[in-house]
Structure 1
Amino acid sequence: MSDILIAPGHGGPMNGIVTELQRLLATEHGQRTAAEIQSVGFNLDHAITESIREPAPPNEWAQPIEYILGWLSWDALVDEGWQPVAVAGHSLGEFLSLAVSGAFSWSDGLHLVRQCGADMDQQARDRPSAMSAILGLTASEAQEVCSSVLSNDEGCLQIANINDQKQIVVSGDVHLVNALENRLATSDVARAIRLNILGAAHSQLHRKSRLLNQAIRTTFLAEPSLPVYLSTSPDPVRTSTQALDSIAGILVRQVHWPRTLDRVVADYPDFKFRLAYPDRALSKFLARRTQRRSHSRQLQGPSPQLTNGGSA
């Protein structure tokens, strides 16, 4: 069995994330990490306060909180002697997965995540935008609705995440996201749920983002020690050049999680996943994928056996 570490993206309500983070920070190991965080100039107390103050907190503070939680959880696994054969990152979790692989240091990762969040916040201020989860439609069906809503509008409305067969996330200008949600409000087969996230990640609205790319230029990137499977890339990251390209495009490129899992399964047919920290939505996606894989194997039956006198 091949153990794969899965780094979640946005983990849902920040209150739960902060509670789990504070639990880990209270440990001896967590206290050492908190001191290291302070030594690199990140105000953790302020980040926690800002992350729970509003339903949609500033990404500049909320995203580093999730990254720190993931790193603390990973460190605890290392102390237990657990080591994966590969890592996979979903959306924001791509930063954690690359840090775990050694592509950059955890502190550089913290700086990159903060600048990524700051880019999202700036984009939201410059051009009101939003993200909405569409349940019940396939990617092609969701694309048809987006195209219909866009019609003659020259704004942005596009699929940002393909998380599961019928769990799609769209990003775009807020008036277009509103229009899409209104259209689906009368649907018998689908519904839309506004995400508590500022801005529109994984969309063309970020094609001119600057802060993250400025931070990348001052970051030392190394060869990953483990294969890294990213939700925005069809192929695993194995070199520092690939890591650089992945980070530079994370805010623009579409998340395609089923494709990522397909590639993991192709390379590690018997993989067993472990989440870096609790994420209910991602756990459900992974559980459904595991169930489908088990069902497929049952339908295929046992592998043919070779004998000295025959062939498979």
Structure 2
Amino acid sequence: MNAYIFPGQGAQFVGMGLDLYEAHPIAQELFEQANDILGFSITDIMFEGTAEELKQTKVTQPAIFLHSVILSKVLGEGFVPDMVAGHSLGEFSALVANGTLNFEDGLKLVSQRAIAMQKACELQPSTMAAVLGLDDEVVERICEETKGIVVPANYNCPGQLVISGEVEAINLACEKMKEAGARRALVLPVGGAFHSPLMEPAREELAAAIEGTQFNNPTAPVYQNVTTTAVTNPDEIKANLISQLTAPVKWTQSVQHMIADGAKSFVEVGPGKVLQGLVRKIDNSVETASATV
């Protein structure tokens, strides 16, 4: 069975999507439609902007979504997923790819999500940190014992977990992680505590938008970040998508469940190869590849 996986924030690069725009009429049409929906020329920033411009959350998230979704559309009849999953933001790309959301609604939700997250980041100084070389249970225990808000945010692969929370609590937790034997505990250059309770204002804002959007029956199950198992019910998909902003991304567990359910190959659709690397660290017996046209 073929699993298609979709990257999240951090996979962006200057010039992303230009090759698709120049070579495929459907890509050009969808990129122009995106400019109209967003009310600004995201293609100018994606194709010719600076890394700094592309790094703004309100730009990054729609840009990665567009690259992933338009690439899946360009693949045409060659794109037949048996199952899909996306890392954080990538879950929205996955839901367009399996027909749960249409292109326009997906892009609108991603844009609203990005703006809501940016606003939540500005309410309170917060950050994230990568912890390498510790068991999940140890990281979880240190988070629980640390004063302030600090929680596991991304279970990326065994021995690689990202924590999220208040700046002071993150710094304190990082020191404790190193004392516990972490190979590294490194604060990341991000402007907020994604997938933590500090995203609650964004979750409330996005919940209203998601509730007001049409979700269809998918053509293939989605393995969502919150539940990690196959979901096909549109109401369940909605609820999990709303929970996602304040809950951890359980990528390790999602990939393990996809493999248990028969996935033999994982194709990454969108910019970068980060997810392929994580899949190989989770189980190196499966095939991984980038979607190409």
> Do the structures match in fold with TM over 0.5?
yes
- What is the match of residue 61 of structure 1? 59
Q: How does 1:90-129 map to 2 (within 5 A)?
A: 90-129=87-126
Normalising by structure 1, report the TM-score.
0.82
- What is the match of residue 175 of structure 1? 168
Determine whether 1:244 maps to 2:249.
Answer: no
1:40 equivalent among 12, 33, 37: 37
Name the SS of the counterpart of 1:261 in structure 2.
Answer: helix
Deviations 1:164-205 (A, max 9, x none): 110000000112112233455677542123333321111111
Q: How does 1:1-312 map to 2 (within 5 A)?
A: 2-12=1-11, 14=12, 16=13, 18-29=14-25, 30-43=27-40, 44-45=42-43, 48=46, 52-53=51-52, 57-78=55-76, 81-150=78-147, 155-184=148-177, 189-209=182-202, 210-268=204-262, 270-291=263-284
Normalising by structure 2, report the TM-score.
0.87
Kept in 2: contact 1:160–1:169 (CA 8 A): yes
| Percent of matched pairs sharing the same residue | 26
Question: C-alpha distance in 2, partners of 1:192/1:222?
Answer: 41
Kept in 1: contact 2:215–2:238 (CA 8 A): yes
Question: Over aligned residues, Cα RMSD in angstroms?
Answer: 2.4
Kept in 2: contact 1:111–1:215 (CA 8 A): no
1:45 positional shift: 4.2
Name the SS of the counterpart of 1:94 in structure 2.
Answer: helix
- How many residues were matched structurally? 283
Kept in 2: contact 1:138–1:165 (CA 8 A): yes
1:160 positional shift: 0.7
The 3 A distance-change label for structure 1 pair 191 and 255 is same
Kept in 2: contact 1:8–1:89 (CA 8 A): yes
Kept in 2: contact 1:120–1:198 (CA 8 A): no
Name the SS of the counterpart of 1:20 in structure 2.
Answer: coil
1:149 positional shift: 3.0
Gaps of 5+ in 1: 295-312
Question: C-alpha distance in 1, partners of 2:53/2:134?
Answer: 30
Name the SS of the counterpart of 1:170 in structure 2.
Answer: strand
Question: C-alpha distance in 2, partners of 1:293/1:280?
Answer: 15
Amino acid at match of 1:123: A
The 3 A distance-change label for structure 1 pair 120 and 250 is same
1:47 positional shift: 5.3
The 3 A distance-change label for structure 1 pair 213 and 9 is same
Amino acid at match of 2:206: L
1:260 positional shift: 0.8
Gaps of 5+ in 2: 288-293
The 3 A distance-change label for structure 1 pair 25 and 197 is farther
1:46 positional shift: 6.4
- What is the match of residue 291 of structure 2? none
